Structure 1
Amino acid sequence: MSSNMHLTHQPTRHGAPPESAALVVYAVHGRGQSPAFMVEVADRVDLPGVAWVLPQAHDFSWYPQGFLAPTQENQPHLDHALEAIRAHTRPLLGEDGPPVVVLGFSQGACLLSEWLLRDQPHLAGAVLHTGGYLGPTERDWVASPGRGLSGQVVEMFTAEEDAWVPLHRVEATSSAFRSLGAAVELTVYDDPDHHLNDDSVHMIRRYLRHRLGPSAQ
């Protein structure tokens, strides 16, 4: 029996059925949240033809410490969270399925940043709102043979002075994505609230609309 408690929770499904959707969005919530938060985001985005797959962190947190803590202080929870993402996304990324975009907010954006930079999966795109890769210092990232993030567009949002996610780490994360070949659009708001504001929701809707599969064109 697996000791990974994140895998005891099946992702919530919302919106169109994945098998008939024009786009799948795998959306990861933040600390203290649940899939219900991402259901609200999906309803605000309000884009037909999208299947939302919403994982649930055990005890509502993907890892215990802040994302800038030494990585070992977040183990084994971090490895378990990354394993859960791999397990959830593997069946979504089949050759015959619709395009897949990942979206994360806060701790979810941090977790997805770490996964994207480590695994460099082939996706239709990524939206990372108020998050960056983990660890106390900046890191260099190398494209894996045959992988990398060339051709992917990563949309990032953050606040100039967020209470939990410093701008310098978001900027370092955007540079890391560029170093692996991704095109990055980073929007920085003069907005101290730790949330998705109406402008970012509008931009997420536009970003996802451009990645809808052929069945929606």
Structure 2
Amino acid sequence: MHRKNIIRAGKSLQDAEKALIMVHGRGADPHDIIRVASHLNVSEYALLAPAATNNTWYPYSFMAPPAQNEPWLFSALDLLEEVVAEITEQGITPNSIFFMGFSQGACLTLEFVARHAQKYGGVAAFTGGMIGDTLSPENYSGDFEGTSIFISTGDPDPHVPLERVKESVALLQIMNASVHIEVYKGRPHTISQDEIDKANKMIFG
């Protein structure tokens, strides 16, 4: 199971008015995702990057039946809930909490915010979609109240089918999120400069 092990950077929670939760991908670690922050307009944010046990949030594809990824998936979602609670305990309200994830971390990020929808500061999901062999609307609750969500992906991507990204966008929009999807033909499984630029403009501007 995942333990609460968080790499911190930027301003302290006591001094910051905004916080960014950064969720790394499979095989990576919090230091990898924290490095992305140097390219984002987040110099005034508290940055919190939780660590996955053995560098993996859940063992199988995000498109596998959820039961196959338990108890790791539940533990990962629970850990993100703990991080949000720590931030709010320091007086930073949800509408000043931002999320960013890449690949497996982007999938986990989208799954978490959809299960706890409210007015957040914004969400950037670089190559991700919501989790499960099928998407079950009954798993998700709340109202994003116009929260801006930026989702990007390659076409094709070796890990994240474009159709699942589009399904995720549709469900998030039903939950009153303001979603922008950006699809890059032939882009490798990475984060491009254009994605960074668009996330800065739409989410962190």
TM-aligned CA deviation for residue 19 of structure 1: 1.8
Work out whether 1:18 is the aligned partner of 2:13. Answer: yes
Corresponding residue for residue 57 of structure 2: 62
2:108 is matched with which residue: 106, 111, 121? 111
**Secondary structure, aligned partner of 1:25:** strand
Q: Taking every aligned residue pair, what percent have the same amino acid on both sides?
A: 29
TM-score, length basis structure 1: 0.87
The root-mean-square deviation of aligned C-alpha atoms, in Å, is 1.8
Corresponding residue for residue 90 of structure 1: 85
Corresponding residue for residue 148 of structure 1: 143
Matched length? 203
Larger radius of gyration: 1
CA spacing shift, 1:161–1:205, aligned 2, 3 Å: same
Corresponding residue for residue 170 of structure 2: 175
TM-score, length basis structure 2: 0.91
**Secondary structure, aligned partner of 2:81:** helix
**Deviating more after overlay: 176-185 vs 113-122:** 113-122
CA–CA distance in structure 1, aligned partners of residues 123 and 18 of structure 2: 13
Structure 1, residues 115-164: CA drift from partner, whole Å, max 9, x if none? 122222442111111111111124335864xx311221111111111110
TM-aligned CA deviation for residue 16 of structure 1: 1.9
Structure 1, residues 42-72: CA drift from partner, whole Å, max 9, x if none? 1122542122100000000000000001111
TM-aligned CA deviation for residue 208 of structure 1: 4.0
CA–CA distance in structure 2, aligned partners of residues 149 and 95 of structure 1: 22
Corresponding residue for residue 36 of structure 1: 31
Corresponding residue for residue 6 of structure 1: 2
Instruction: Give unmatched runs, 5+ long, in structure 2.
Output: none
Corresponding residue for residue 195 of structure 1: 190
**Secondary structure, aligned partner of 1:186:** strand
- Contact 2:107 2:128 (8 Å CA) reproduced: yes
